[in-house]
A and B are shown apart, each in its own frame.
Chain A
Amino acid sequence: MTPSKSKTHVTTPGLDFQSILLNLQRYFASQGAVILQPYDMEVGAGTFHPATTLRALGPDQVWRAAYVQPSRRPTDGRFGENPNRLQHYYQFQAIFKPSPADSQALYLGSLRAIGLDPDMHDIRFVEDDWESPTLGAWGLGWEVWCDGMEVSQFTYFQQVGGIECNPVPLELTYGLERLAMFIQGIDNVYDLDWDGVPGDQGGKCYGDIFHRAEVEFSGWNFYHAETDMLLTHFRDAEAECGRLLGLETPLALPAYDQCMKASHLFNLLDARGVISVTERAAYIGRVRALAKGCCEAWIAEAANV
């Protein structure tokens, strides 16, 4: 599989990648969500953004937010050679607390907003319970299938950081590349039309923008990342997180930054193949302990404020 050369990609005005993103933002803004920007740290999924993890808990009886989150999964890198897998991709994330009375209607409205008319497709909700061992979080819900393609994850959060969610938030997660490939009807992610501008007028496809990054980061993730350094960073982040949580007035948000850092460092170490099967569980447990501590500090402090 070779990535497409630029300039020959098919443009799909209105259905290009950035339009899909903008339309999702506009839609959720119209539904009363605050539109946030990506969190400025490496994370594995949009769920890690404090706007989801921490705000799913705490004093806000109402919290509605939507944002795009660049997500890094080092082990999924394929040196730009696989048409479906990326070590860096975009998730769009919406969190609605409490979950609306007709959450499915809210979701289907978002599909309409990005040019995917539910009336012209076979959309169904297939059981898929969600669990994040590193965040100590779980929920029930579905994968949403559109004509056999998983286009979203739909979850009613039950616990985060081991703490019961009350009210219960609804989390909607869209794998934007996959969704855009479906909408544009193409088979190779690198062929995605990014901007709706024809190639001969300087328009860009996904490969133009990200292919080199996929190649270089795959090499770093799998072969070149200095593992001793990563281990040290992991331990530092863990220690700093613990220290911030141990302060007389714990600093929940800075501590949670360190927790996210530790989680990503663990993912990198995993990609480097230096974590054995048994160690894996232990590392996940360590990150979970941090996440749990951050969540507890978050709600405790919120109660004081």
Chain B
Amino acid sequence: MSKETLDLFIELVQEEIPARMQDQAGKDLLRLVTAELSAANLAFENASYVVSPRHLALYVSALDSRQADSIVEKRGPRVDAPEQAINGFLASTGMTRDQLVEEETPKGTFLFARSESKGAATSDLLADMITGILANFPWPKSQRWGTTRFRWVRPLHRVNVLVNGAVLDGTLDLDGALMLFGGTSMGHYFENPADIDITGITSMDDYTTRLADAHVIVDGDVRRAMINDQAKALAKANGAIVRPGMTDEIAGLVQFPHPIYGAIEDRFMALPDEVLEASIRSHQKYLTLSAADGTLANGFIVVSNRLPDPDRDAVILAGNQRVLRARLADAEFFWNEDTKIGLEDYLPKLADITFYEGLGSVHDKAMRIEKLAGTIAGYMAGVDAVKAARAARLAKADLVTGMVGEFPELQGLIGGYYARLAGEGDDVAAAIAGHYRPQGPGDSLPESNIALAVSLADKIDSLAGFFGVGAKPTGSKDPFALRRAALGIIRIVREAQIRMPLGEIIELAASHHGFAKADGDLLGFVKERLRVNLRDEGIAHDVIAAAISDDGGANDALDDMLLMADRATALDAFLASSDGAGLMAGWRRAASILAAEENKTKTTFSAATKPALFANDAEGALYAAVTGLSDSDAGMADANIQTKEDLSAMMTALGGLRAPIDKFFEDVVVNDDDPDIRQNRLGLLALIRAKMQQVADFSKLEG
């Protein structure tokens, strides 16, 4: 007899789910239901979800219609146990003595109570399972409504649960009211307000077809495809192509997507692309288009939530164009007003904005980073310090313009445009435009080197300032995004290969704030971000510790983030090579012999050995190899070791020790009977240890 199965369908109808939450809700419903089914030992063939702004639905096909029966076995006392014990077991199982079975085990013959547990019918389990999932659904934000206390993303109107197309008996307790499971869905709110019977559906396709008949395209993938295809055709007909990136959000705002093309008045096309994009895409959620030459085309596509209808489409388009015109007219007004004066003329107004209590105004900040950017430029190849200072001085001026007031997300970019109009050079303008970047891990560095100098100055000034007044990040609290600022510094110095003494620059920044001294934790805070950054790249924490640990030694004073990063990557690469791995084995052997002896004698062996006492060729060869490394005496701390090439040359040289060390341990017994020879050999190992410690702190490396 073939296994009996059933089809399960769950549909939740609620008021508009925020676009950004829809897809995750589908995934969560699928995950939670299938996990519960699996936990109940119920197998199924396939499960899939669809989600629209008002519908969230899951179809599970060929689900076991009942749980398998199972044998429950309970071991009792031995057959020869006292009668009292056996009676106790009988009482606990509710069985009689003759129902028990006897079975031999390695420990003797025992009594067993066996009973068959009938698996439950799936349909008896589903209602509780589903209501349990709904009561704890992981919405990012949820609410209550009416007089009930149940929480959902927005008011929930229906819970439809069908088993083989028939409504399952069940009730969702809304805490204040009960909602019976049903089989009636809702169509498009405006196009088909009548109820839709969904009982009898035989597949997800069947369901989506019934909803489509009621003008709801319930599958998000289909809505996306409709938007893409139709928008593409509309754009093409107007000699343009659609700029990517908005489809997902728009697909979450409509139940029946119907793209309509509209023109943008030419007079607005003089506005910067970023301003147009911010108005058209971010604020109005239209698709923007590229002309054949790649520039922003003078058209947009609004995706209507209504069926095509020429009269209505004309009304909808006219309304949308009017809204867009008002927005762009606003932007145009700001542009015209803002550019009546030069960018520099905005500087005095910055004095009215407090940067942070104790850290002066934004004007004060501009003056500070002007000085700091000039200094930083001195550490960067080919960066004009005068231009860097100029760009830094003007970098914040756009904050008090009308345009940035309206479009805060365009800060910097607007300053760049206004700088050009005010006659600043292209490089200064580009630096102003790019100085907030990188904004996050996904953002690239600005192309302009001057922008990098300004960006560094801005971030270092903020760090020195906030640390200086005690506003340091604690735990998960980082209200001024100082971790991001520190990571920005690290990305810039690493990606743009900037060598600079960060400690000195931090001190300088602190002095510009008027502090006697920079906060003692700040350099360590930036270094910690460097370690996080290196770990994110896959370098193990012990390798990082070996290369750049703070241990009270020379490393603590290190403040060149690029050099520190290069050390870690060079050591990581070396340890991954066969010489590196081999040398590590030798290191461990040498270190453990030394440690054992030193522990025994309570002394530390000096790194000295006498060639005259060598009794074996391998000793002489190893000694020659170690002393041959003389140029890197100071190891990583050597002032001459500054570049990646230096570091890798040093590592290669160190790798040269591997063969002589291996040979030494093959041919030589350290524990010679002659105490002088033994002492001399331990001295040789101590010499190796000392040399290697100069390169990196190998003692920090884990096995």
Which of A1, A103, A104 interacts with B333 by CB under 8 Å? A1
A182 and B145 contact, CB distance less than 8 A: no
Q: Which of A263-285 contact B (CB under 8 A)?
A: 273, 276-279
B326 and A187 contact, CB distance less than 8 A: yes
Report how far A165 CA is from B149 CA in the complex, Å.
10
Closest Cβ–Cβ distance, residue B501 to chain A (whole Å): 33
B123 at the interface (CB under 8 A from A): no
Report how far A167 CA is from B53 CA in the complex, Å.
26
Write out the residue numbers on chain B whose beta carbons fall within 8 Å of the beta carbon of A187.
322, 325-326, 329
- Nearest A residue to B254 via CB reads A124
Closest Cβ–Cβ distance, residue A114 to chain B (whole Å): 15
B699 at the interface (CB under 8 A from A): no
Q: Which of B319-341 contact A (CB under 8 A)?
A: 319-320, 322-326, 329-330, 333
B20 at the interface (CB under 8 A from A): yes
Asked if A98 meets B316 with Cβ closer than 8 Å, knowing A83-B326, A84-B326, A185-B322, the reply is no
Which of A120, A139, A142, A185 interacts with B312 by CB under 8 Å? A120
Total A-B residue pairs with C-beta atoms closer than 8 Å? 115
Closest Cβ–Cβ distance, residue A151 to chain B (whole Å): 10
Write out the residue numbers on chain B whose beta carbons fall within 8 Å of the beta carbon of A147.
315-316, 318-320, 323
A120 and B145 contact, CB distance less than 8 A: no
A278 and B354 contact, CB distance less than 8 A: yes
- Nearest B residue to A158 via CB reads B143
Report how far A100 CA is from B148 CA in the complex, Å.
12
B357 at the interface (CB under 8 A from A): yes
Asked if A140 meets B141 with Cβ closer than 8 Å, knowing A82-B333, A118-B190, A273-B352, the reply is yes
A122 and B284 contact, CB distance less than 8 A: no
A60 at the interface (CB under 8 A from B): no
A52 at the interface (CB under 8 A from B): no
Write out the residue numbers on chain A whose beta carbons fall within 8 Å of the beta carbon of B141.
129, 140
Write out the residue numbers on chain A whose beta carbons fall within 8 Å of the beta carbon of B143.
139-140, 156, 158, 168
Which of B15, B322, B354, B355 interacts with A125 by CB under 8 Å? B15
A148 and B319 contact, CB distance less than 8 A: yes
B342 at the interface (CB under 8 A from A): no
A33 at the interface (CB under 8 A from B): no
Report how far A251 CA is from B145 CA in the complex, Å.
30
Report how far A121 CA is from B190 CA in the complex, Å.
10
Chain A 98-117: CB-based contact to B (< 8 A → 1; otherwise 0) = 11110110000000000000
A120 and B315 contact, CB distance less than 8 A: yes
Say which one of B210-218, B301-309, B552-560, B568-576 lies at the interface with A. Answer: B301-309
Chain A 135-155: CB-based contact to B (< 8 A → 1; otherwise 0) = 000011010001111000000
B354 and A168 contact, CB distance less than 8 A: no
- Nearest B residue to A186 via CB reads B322
Write out the residue numbers on chain A whose beta carbons fall within 8 Å of the beta carbon of B319.
121-122, 146-149, 182
B496 at the interface (CB under 8 A from A): no
A156 and B357 contact, CB distance less than 8 A: no
Q: Which of A80-104 contact B (CB under 8 A)?
A: 82-84, 98-101, 103-104
A166 at the interface (CB under 8 A from B): yes
Closest Cβ–Cβ distance, residue A143 to chain B (whole Å): 11
B146 at the interface (CB under 8 A from A): yes
B190 and A278 contact, CB distance less than 8 A: no
Q: Which of A165-216 contact B (CB under 8 A)?
A: 165-168, 170, 182, 185, 187
Write out the residue numbers on chain A whose beta carbons fall within 8 Å of the beta carbon of B325.
187
Q: Which of B136-150 contact A (CB under 8 A)?
A: 141-147, 149
Write out the residue numbers on chain B whose beta carbons fall within 8 Å of the beta carbon of A149.
319, 322-323
B154 and A123 contact, CB distance less than 8 A: no
- Nearest B residue to A118 via CB reads B190
Report how far A178 CA is from B18 CA in the complex, Å.
24
Write out the residue numbers on chain A whose beta carbons fall within 8 Å of the beta carbon of B146.
98-101, 167-168
Report how far A156 CA is from B355 CA in the complex, Å.
36
A127 at the interface (CB under 8 A from B): yes
Asked if A126 meets B253 with Cβ closer than 8 Å, knowing A140-B141, A167-B147, A168-B144, the reply is yes
A99 and B145 contact, CB distance less than 8 A: yes
Write out the residue numbers on chain A whose beta carbons fall within 8 Å of the beta carbon of B322.
149, 182, 185, 187
Closest Cβ–Cβ distance, residue A158 to chain B (whole Å): 6
Report how far A170 CA is from B143 CA in the complex, Å.
12
Write out the residue numbers on chain A whose beta carbons fall within 8 Å of the beta carbon of B320.
147-148
Report how far A98 CA is from B352 CA in the complex, Å.
46
Report how far A280 CA is from B11 CA in the complex, Å.
47
Chain B 340-357: CB-based contact to A (< 8 A → 1; otherwise 0) = 000000000000111111
B268 at the interface (CB under 8 A from A): no
Asked if A122 meets B304 with Cβ closer than 8 Å, knowing A148-B324, A149-B319, A187-B326, the reply is yes
B662 at the interface (CB under 8 A from A): no
Q: Which of B7-37 contact A (CB under 8 A)?
A: 15-16, 18-20
Write out the residue numbers on chain B whose beta carbons fall within 8 Å of the beta carbon of A158.
143-144
Closest Cβ–Cβ distance, residue B304 to chain A (whole Å): 5
B354 and A121 contact, CB distance less than 8 A: no
- Nearest A residue to B354 via CB reads A276
B189 at the interface (CB under 8 A from A): yes
B656 at the interface (CB under 8 A from A): no
Write out the residue numbers on chain B whose beta carbons fall within 8 Å of the beta carbon of A1.
333
A98 and B147 contact, CB distance less than 8 A: yes
Closest Cβ–Cβ distance, residue A163 to chain B (whole Å): 13
Write out the residue numbers on chain A whose beta carbons fall within 8 Å of the beta carbon of B155.
99, 103, 156
15 A-B interface contacts by CB (under 8 A): A103-B155, A121-B312, A123-B190, A125-B15, A125-B16, A126-B253, A147-B315, A147-B318, A148-B302, A158-B143, A168-B144, A168-B147, A170-B145, A187-B325, A276-B357
Q: Please give 4 more A-B residue pairs, beta carbons under 8 A apart, in addition to A148-B284, A168-B147.
A: A149-B323, A165-B144, A277-B355, A278-B357
Rank and list the top 8 A-B pairs by shortest CB-CB distance, nearest first: A147-B319, A276-B354, A127-B18, A148-B320, A125-B16, A140-B143, A148-B323, A98-B146
